[in-house]
């Protein structure tokens, strides 16, 4: 058998290595138009930021090691120009010599990846404006930034790569401004979780601009002027464009392979394209989301690597293993914080017309009495009725990855929130509490599902009706420090003595710091005959983060309008 693989990074390299383990006698050739194979994309920002200092560490395999260890031929600087599906031939140009030749295949694998989006703005091609996707991109940024360590970096796009670059350039000593067109960073997250991250970014001294659009770039003597809609321009030493990627499907399209609704290469559940002798993996493919059934692309290294293994198995053994699809589990370190998401966000469920309930809890990363515990926020989206877990987001300072992994595995196997309550975690004080944050999130979701708890949300606080009341059930000290405007103070420990004076209201809206004392207050009131009672989801903590971010946004808007 002769296998050709186009693209030698995550998906392609994984496919090749597994192919060799499955078939010692096969001929396997990897084509890569760039000069690097099997490198660690996800490490690139950290090499720029000097967190990783040894560049060689970024290369998992080299051309030589692929050959020695796997008996696989790797042809770098070799661009595949076309595929002749009828003759089962590809045409390759050797970019070093300019020579063009053909190579035949029995099975062909496409792993072309995705390419960064460069919007057609005036000045987009000026020196000093970079995207980060490949090793040469990284080298260029590093070289350029070398003498501008005290300069000003403007990051356009507050997504995962944007925030990683912001942190790393800040780490180098640069002043960093992030310009994001949307009203929050990290678009896959819901606003309350993004708000927590935004507060943390601001606390590090970065200039974070939301709902802000770049209109173009002007050349400066020693940098780039970034022009903004409705705001003063910013003079930058370096500009990083990180507004997203799109699947590289040129070759597939030219070969007449079917594309999907989101313009990725369409594959079946065996990762086979519309041509049965051509398989495809990685960022360029699209595949149904297991939760919605809708086709989507996933730009993540984990799924690409796993697809490689499945693709190789299917080519060698004949479509034996189904790819289950990805639920878009993603995580990012943002300075001292970690934040991540898995499954669907509430806003995306809403947009897809999928009915769901939302619960937000805040718990310590481990037992509060053991040193170093930090607060962590968990948001769950789940189906009314069945309680199936549809999405989860976690933000905090410690143990975020652990809870996210667990929730991802629960979503992937279509578990309910009941399973979270039964989850038997490994408990000792340095690692968790007797009830893990995931258990707590499950308990609260279960209470909501069972009708033992009715919630209201941070953006409904202002809509509290006139004949209703908003009560703060924290201690008087907490209330005096800061509280939601208009709230009355009724500490939970005294609530039982004040039932009669509360009966004059048509509805009671409760909040505490995170939701736990509020829940107890809720139960006391409901079981004392109060009919309309609601507890604030995520408590004062969630409200405060969201409220502060909304206020900052409005202040910025006013300033911008003054300029315009």
- CB of 294: closest distance to a copy of itself in angstroms? 17
Contact 41, 111 (CB under 8 A): no
Per CB under 8 A, the list member of 401, 468, 478, 560 interacting with a copy of itself is 401
Determine the interface stretch with a copy of itself among 186-194, 355-363, 369-377, 542-550 (rule: CB under 8 A).
369-377
- CB of 185: closest distance to a copy of itself in angstroms? 15
Determine the interface stretch with a copy of itself among 181-189, 327-335, 482-490, 538-546 (rule: CB under 8 A).
327-335
Q: What is the full DSSP assignment across 485-499?
A: TTPEE--HHHHGGGH
Q: Give the H/E segment covering residue 510.
A: strand 507-511
Q: Which of residues 30-69 bind a copy of itself (CB under 8 A)?
A: 40, 42-43, 46, 51-52, 54, 57-58, 65, 68-69
Q: Does 327 bind a copy of itself (CB under 8 A)?
A: yes
Q: Does 432 bind a copy of itself (CB under 8 A)?
A: yes
Total residue length of the chain: 564
Q: Which of residues 464-503 bind a copy of itself (CB under 8 A)?
A: 492-493, 496
Q: Does 27 bind a copy of itself (CB under 8 A)?
A: no
The two three-digit tokens of residue 104, written as one number: 């035949």
Contact 534, 515 (CB under 8 A): no
Per CB under 8 A, the list member of 415, 513, 542, 544 interacting with a copy of itself is 415
Q: Is 546 a known active-site residue?
A: no
Determine the interface stretch with a copy of itself among 94-102, 151-159, 212-220, 409-417 (rule: CB under 8 A).
409-417
Q: Which is nearer to a copy of itself, 264 or 399 (CB)?
A: 399
Give every CB contact of residue 392 below 8 A, 6+ residues apart in sequence: 341, 342, 343, 378, 379, 380, 381, 404, 407, 408, 410, 411, 441
- CB of 340: closest distance to a copy of itself in angstroms? 5
Contact 2, 104 (CB under 8 A): yes
Q: What is the full DSSP assignment across 163-232?
A: HHHHHHHHHHT-EEEEE-SSSSSSTTS-HHHHHHHHHHHHHTT-EEE-S--EEEEEEETTEEEEEETTEE
Q: Which is nearer to a copy of itself, 10 or 349 (CB)?
A: 10
Distances (CA, A) of 405 to 73, 125, 341: 36, 40, 10
Per CB under 8 A, the list member of 276, 430, 480, 503 interacting with a copy of itself is 430
Q: Which is nearer to a copy of itself, 198 or 326 (CB)?
A: 326
- CB of 155: closest distance to a copy of itself in angstroms? 17
Q: Which is nearer to a copy of itself, 42 or 464 (CB)?
A: 42
CA dist 515 and 522 (Å) reads: 10
Q: Which is nearer to a copy of itself, 226 or 440 (CB)?
A: 440
Q: Does 299 bind a copy of itself (CB under 8 A)?
A: no
Contact 413, 353 (CB under 8 A): no
Q: Does 24 bind a copy of itself (CB under 8 A)?
A: yes
Q: Give the H/E segment covering residue 542.
A: helix 539-563
Distances (CA, A) of 258 to 85, 181, 250, 295: 13, 32, 12, 13
Q: Does 288 bind a copy of itself (CB under 8 A)?
A: no
User: Binding string, 156-185, against a copy of itself, x = CB under 8 A?
Assistant: ----x---x---------------------
- Neighbouring C-beta atoms of residue 318, cutoff 10 Å: 8
Q: Taking Cα atoms as reference points, which of 514, 506, 468 lies closest to residue 488?
A: 468
Q: Which of 42, 311, 381, 512 is catalytic?
A: 42
CA dist 184 and 210 (Å) reads: 6
CA dist 98 and 92 (Å) reads: 10
DSSP assigned state of 416: B
Q: Which is nearer to a copy of itself, 38 or 541 (CB)?
A: 38
Q: Which is nearer to a copy of itself, 81 or 476 (CB)?
A: 476
Contact 347, 379 (CB under 8 A): no
Q: Which of residues 515-534 bind a copy of itself (CB under 8 A)?
A: 519-520, 523-524, 527-528
- CB of 318: closest distance to a copy of itself in angstroms? 14
Per CB under 8 A, the list member of 36, 335, 370, 397 interacting with a copy of itself is 370
Q: Does 78 bind a copy of itself (CB under 8 A)?
A: no
Q: Does 382 bind a copy of itself (CB under 8 A)?
A: no
Q: Does 301 bind a copy of itself (CB under 8 A)?
A: yes
- CB of 449: closest distance to a copy of itself in angstroms? 13
Per CB under 8 A, the list member of 8, 238, 300, 357 interacting with a copy of itself is 300
- Neighbouring C-beta atoms of residue 498, cutoff 10 Å: 13
Per CB under 8 A, the list member of 305, 319, 350, 475 interacting with a copy of itself is 305
Cα diameter, the chain: 90
Per CB under 8 A, the list member of 227, 231, 332, 487 interacting with a copy of itself is 332
Buried b (16+ CB within 10 A) or exposed e, 499-530: eeebeebebbbbbbbbbbbbbbbbebbbeeeb
Q: Which residues are catalytic?
A: 42
């Amino acid at each position: 058998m002769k296998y050709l693989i186009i693209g030698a990074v995550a998906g392609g390299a994984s496919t090749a290595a597994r192919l060799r383990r499955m078939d010692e006698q096969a001929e396997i050739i990897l084509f890569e138009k760039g000069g690097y194979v099997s490198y660690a994309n996800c490490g690139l920002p950290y090499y720029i930021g000097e967190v990783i200092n040894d560049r060689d560490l970024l290369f998992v395999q080299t051309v030589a090691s692929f050959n020695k260890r796997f008996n696989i031929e790797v042809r770098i600087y070799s661009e595949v120009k076309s595929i002749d599906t009828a003759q089962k031939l590809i045409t390759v140009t050797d970019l070093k010599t300019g020579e063009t030749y053909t190579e035949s295949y029995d099975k062909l694998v496409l792993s072309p990846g995705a390419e960064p989006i460069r919007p057609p703005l005036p000045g987009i091609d000026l020196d000093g404006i970079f995207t980060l996707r490949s090793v040469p991109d990284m080298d260029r940024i590093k070289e350029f930034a070398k003498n501008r360590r005290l300069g000003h970096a403007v990051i356009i796009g507050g997504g995962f790569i944007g925030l990683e670059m912001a942190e790393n350039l800040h780490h180098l000593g640069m002043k960093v401004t992030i310009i994001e067109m949307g009203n929050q960073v990290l678009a896959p997250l819901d606003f309350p979780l993004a708000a927590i991250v935004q507060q943390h970014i601001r606390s590090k001294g970065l200039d974070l601009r939301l709902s802000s659009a770049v209109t173009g770039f002007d050349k400066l003597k020693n940098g780039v002027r970034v022009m903004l809609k409705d705001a003063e321009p910013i003079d930058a030493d370096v500009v990083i464009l990180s507004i997203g990627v799109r699947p590289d499907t040129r070759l597939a399209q030219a070969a007449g392979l079917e594309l999907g609704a989101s313009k990725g290469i369409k594959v079946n559940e065996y990762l086979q394209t519309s041509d049965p002798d051509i398989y495809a993996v990685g960022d360029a493919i699209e595949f149904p989301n297991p939760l919605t059934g809708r086709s989507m692309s996933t730009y993540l290294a984990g799924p690409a690597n796993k697809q490689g293994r499945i693709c190789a198995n299917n080519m060698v053994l004949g479509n034996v293993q189904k790819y289950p699809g990805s639920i878009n589990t993603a995580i990012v370190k943002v300075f001292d914080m970690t934040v991540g998401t898995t499954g669907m966000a509430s806003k995306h469920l809403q947009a897809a017309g999928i009915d769901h309930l939302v619960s937000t809890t805040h718990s310590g990363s481990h037992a509060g009495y053991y040193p170093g515990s930090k607060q962590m926020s968990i948001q769950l989206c789940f189906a009314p009725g069945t309680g199936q877990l549809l999405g989860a987001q976690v933000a905090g300072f410690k143990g975020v990855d652990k809870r996210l992994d667990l929730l991802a595995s629960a979503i992937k196997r279509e578990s309910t929130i009941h399973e979270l309550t039964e989850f038997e975690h490994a408990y000792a004080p340095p690692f968790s509490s007797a009830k893990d944050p995931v258990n707590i999130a499950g308990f609260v979701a279960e209470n909501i599902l069972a009708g033992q708890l009715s919630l209201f949300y941070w953006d409904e606080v202002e809509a509290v009706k006139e004949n209703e009341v908003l009560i703060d059930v924290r201690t008087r000290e907490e209330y005096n420090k800061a509280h939601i405007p208009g709230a009355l103070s009724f500490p939970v420990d005294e609530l039982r003595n004040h039932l009669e004076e509360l009966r004059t209201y048509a509805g009671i809206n409760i909040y505490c710091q995170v939701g736990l004392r509020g829940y107890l207050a809720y139960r006391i009131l409901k079981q004392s005959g109060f009919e309309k009672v609601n507890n604030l989801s995520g408590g004062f903590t969630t409200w405060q983060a969201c409220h502060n971010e909304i206020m900052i946004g409005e202040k910025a808007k006013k300033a911008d309008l003054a300029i315009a």
